[in-house]
């Protein structure tokens, strides 16, 4: 695999576009096609979105918990699993 050429900045920059809808195929090639840190951020956000929602609609920035979309956090899922295992 060829080594990607990345630019290094003196300070952290924020991406102008926070696209989190990259596909799994695009994410796999992220290291070779990203030129700037901003490019790479989009792929990382897309992977976080896929961890939470898989291929279902949604965004990485949606609120967790009862006041938001009803997405359960990892701690809540862990507690649910413990409760489920303990029940007959």
Instruction: Examine residue 15 and state whether it is found in any structural domain, yes or no.
Output: no
Specify if 56 maps to a domain: yes
* Furthest C-alpha separation in the chain: 58
Q: Is residue 14 part of a domain?
A: no
Kindly report the pTM of this predicted structure: 0.63
Q: Domain containing 53: what range? A: 24-86
Instruction: Give strand pairing partners of 55.
Output: none
Distances (CA, A) of 83 to 42, 75, 87: 36, 12, 6
C-beta of residue 46 within 8 angstroms of C-beta of residue 15: no
In this prediction, residue 65 has a pLDDT band, given cuts at 50, 70 and 90, of: low
54 domain residue, yes or no: yes
Q: Is residue 1 part of a domain?
A: no
* Predicted confidence (pLDDT) per residue in 7-56, tens digit: 676 766 667 777 888 888 898 998 888 888 888 888 998 888 888 878 87
Does residue 44 fall inside a structural domain? yes
pLDDT value for 37 = 81
With cut-offs at 50, 70 and 90, classify the pLDDT of residue 62: confident
Count of domains for the chain: 1
């Amino acid at each position: 695999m060829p080594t990607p050429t990345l630019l290094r900045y003196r300070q952290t920059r924020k991406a102008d576009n926070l696209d989190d809808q990259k596909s799994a195929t695009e994410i796999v090639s992220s290291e070779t096609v990203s030129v700037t840190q901003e490019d790479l951020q989009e792929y990382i956000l897309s992977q976080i979105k896929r961890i939470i929602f898989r291929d279902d609609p949604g965004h990485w920035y949606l609120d967790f918990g009862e006041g938001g979309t009803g997405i359960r956090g990892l701690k809540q899922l862990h507690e649910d699993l413990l409760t489920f295992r303990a029940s007959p």
